[in-house]
């Protein structure tokens, strides 16, 4: 279902008149930048052993799988450019419309697209820590340099391999980010739900907070979600909708 000019105008009005606009994004936003979805039709799950790559017990035993296989897409993402969706969301934040952005993505592309208020509920590779030494905090850039040479990042104190602050299977989600995401979802009078099928919790529960406080949901996703029937507006093509919004913003 293609969004008409009238639809886009209506959405633009909703966005620019919202009191507390919040966005919730998933993998669909990044596939436009050439980042592959883990679970989608051409997802990495089918090709790589993602269950193992992102498994904390496996990582503790042997982190090399993560840094060799996972590394090829996590640490080459600065070659990827933000998509029209990342860029428009960045503009919306800079112009004061977007109050915060909750993402399930771990690719740092929202930051690259100009968003500063990013809540990363599945963690982030922006920092790396040591299981054994408190206070170790190594940046994405430093680690990426090491990984691209085919090596693993080591703790400057004890020499053990560092772990990215991405949430792995078997780990609990970052509590502070979840708390913030919940508060933002409760405050939202409009939530944009972009490129996520709302099947993974707790992301899937965020729109429920918005609905409970009489906020409106706008869903843009190429697959159906369990909340489609509750959406105020619903579109399928992220690229088309955001090209339209971009024209109105210029």
Q: Which residues bind Zn ion (CB under 5 A)?
A: 130, 132-133, 155, 157-158
Q: Could you tell me if residue 113 is left (phi over 0), alpha (psi between -120 and 50 degrees) or otherwise beta?
A: alpha
Smallest distance, Zn ion to C-beta of residue 59, A: 15
In the complex with Zn ion, which residue's Cβ is closer, 134 or 175? 134
Q: How far apart are CA 193 and CA 156, in angstroms?
A: 40
Q: Which of 86, 122, 128, 209 is catalytic?
A: 122
Q: Nearest-CA neighbor of 22 among 87, 118, 86, 104?
A: 118
Smallest distance, Zn ion to C-beta of residue 128, A: 11
Is 86 a known active-site residue? Answer: no
In the complex with Zn ion, which residue's Cβ is closer, 132 or 212? 132
Q: Nearest-CA neighbor of 22 among 137, 187, 170?
A: 187
Please provide the DSSP assignment of 200-233 as one string. STTGGGHHHHHHHTT-EEEEE-SS--TTGGG-SE
In the complex with Zn ion, which residue's Cβ is closer, 34 or 156? 156
Which residues does the annotation mark as catalytic?
Answer: 122
């Amino acid at each position: 279902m293609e969004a008409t000019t009238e639809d886009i105008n209506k959405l633009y009005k909703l966005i620019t008149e919202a009191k507390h606009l919040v966005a919730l994004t998933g993998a669909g936003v990044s596939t436009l930048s050439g980042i592959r979805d883990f679970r989608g039709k051409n997802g990495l799950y089918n090709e790589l052993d993602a269950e193992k790559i992102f498994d904390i017990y496996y990582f503790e035993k042997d982190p090399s799988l993560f840094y060799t296989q996972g590394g090829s897409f996590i640490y080459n993402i600065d070659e990827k450019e933000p998509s029209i969706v990342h860029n428009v969301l960045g503009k919306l934040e800079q112009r004061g419309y977007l109050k915060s952005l909750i993402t399930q993505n771990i690719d740092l592309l929202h930051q690259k697209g100009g968003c500063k208020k990013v809540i990363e509920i599945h963690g982030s590779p922006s920092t790396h820590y040591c299981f054994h030494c408190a206070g170790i905090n190594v940046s994405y850039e430093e680690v990426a340099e090491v990984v691209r040479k085919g090596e693993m990042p080591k703790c400057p104190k004890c020499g053990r391999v560092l772990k990215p602050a991405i949430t792995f299977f078997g780990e609990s989600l970052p509590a502070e980010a979840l708390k913030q995401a919940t508060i933002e979802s409760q405050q939202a009078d409009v939530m944009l739900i972009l490129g996520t099928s709302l099947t993974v919790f707790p992301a899937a529960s965020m729109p429920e907070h918005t609905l409970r406080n009489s906020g409106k949901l706008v869903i843009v996703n190429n697959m159906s979600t369990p909340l489609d029937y509750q959406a105020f507006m619903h579109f399928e093509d992220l690229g088309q909708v955001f090209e339209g919004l971009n024209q109105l913003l210029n």
